[in-house]
């Protein structure tokens, strides 16, 4: 028996190592992200940027960064899904500019400044469509002013609003909400307060999740 003892010891240590590693892996796996009950909003925030029916039974809530390429890729997908589901779906956008993106915060300010002239979603779409341009510009602010002009905004007011406490407070408020519920990356999408797994952040994955939540796309006219 003594002759085999070293092998027994080695085998036992190996089993303990593998077992311990498996337990550690399970401990490190993040739980499915969701908005806790005490963080849910009892009523729709009047300041929230909403597309679709404000009283829709299904809510798609996104935390996004205008300089984030995956966010730009997802934006037209979410817009089309919103059109397809009509009155059954509302889409809410929250700012979550990441520090690694040099112009993301200014872009969020631009969208909020446009929102004060009732053009938030138009600026939202334009910023994502033109992301490849302004994200690489030395002077992104000049491009934001140009986009405001393209949308027919009052440029002088837009410039002042971009610097206003009101706009900065709104972006900071969105960030705070995201941090409170555990958002760390963009895009992060919740459907009825449950986070959608990153591999499902595509047309098929979102539609499947929305269907599971009970919504049906509206019938297209024949």
In tens, the pLDDT along 60-93 reads 999 999 999 999 999 999 999 999 999 999 999 9
pTM (two decimals): 0.80
Q: What's the number of domains the chain is made of? A: 2
The whole-number pLDDT of residue 37 equals 58
Residue 67 lies in a domain: yes
The whole-number pLDDT of residue 23 equals 34
The whole-number pLDDT of residue 12 equals 42
Same domain, 96 and 158: yes
Structural domain containing residue 3: 1-30
The whole-number pLDDT of residue 13 equals 39
The whole-number pLDDT of residue 28 equals 34
The stretches in the chain having pLDDT less than 70 are 1-32, 34-46, 215, 218-222
Same domain, 16 and 60: no
The whole-number pLDDT of residue 15 equals 38
Same domain, 130 and 73: yes
Largest interatomic CA distance in the chain: 90
CATH number at residue 45: 3.40.30.10
Structure tokens at 44: 């729709």
The whole-number pLDDT of residue 8 equals 39
Same domain, 22 and 88: no
d(CA 87, CA 105): 32
The whole-number pLDDT of residue 38 equals 52
């Amino acid at each position: 028996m003594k002759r085999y003892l070293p092998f027994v010891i080695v085998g036992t240590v190996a089993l303990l190592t593998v077992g311990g590693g498996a337990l550690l892996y399970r401990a490190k796996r993040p739980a499915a992200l969701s908005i806790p009950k005490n963080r849910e909003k009892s009523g729709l925030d009047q300041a929230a940027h909403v597309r679709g029916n404000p009283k829709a039974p299904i809510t798609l809530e996104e935390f996004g960064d205008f300089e984030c390429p995956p966010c730009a890729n997802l934006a037209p997908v979410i817009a089309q899904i919103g059109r397809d589901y009509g009155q059954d779906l509302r889409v809410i956008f929250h700012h979550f500019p990441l520090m690694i993106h040099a112009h993301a915060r200014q872009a969020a300010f631009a969208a909020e400044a446009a929102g004060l002239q009732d053009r938030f979603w138009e600026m939202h779409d334009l910023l994502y469509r033109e992301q490849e341009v302004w994200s690489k510009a030395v002077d992104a602010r000049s491009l934001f002013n140009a986009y405001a002009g393209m949308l027919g905004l009052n440029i002088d007011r837009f410039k002042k609003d971009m610097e206003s406490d009101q706009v900065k407070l709104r972006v900071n408020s969105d960030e705070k909400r995201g941090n409170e519920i555990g958002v760390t990356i963009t895009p992060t999408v919740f459907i009825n307060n449950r986070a959608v797994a990153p591999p499902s952040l595509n047309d098929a994955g979102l539609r499947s999740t929305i269907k599971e939540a009970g919504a049906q796309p509206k019938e297209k006219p024949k």
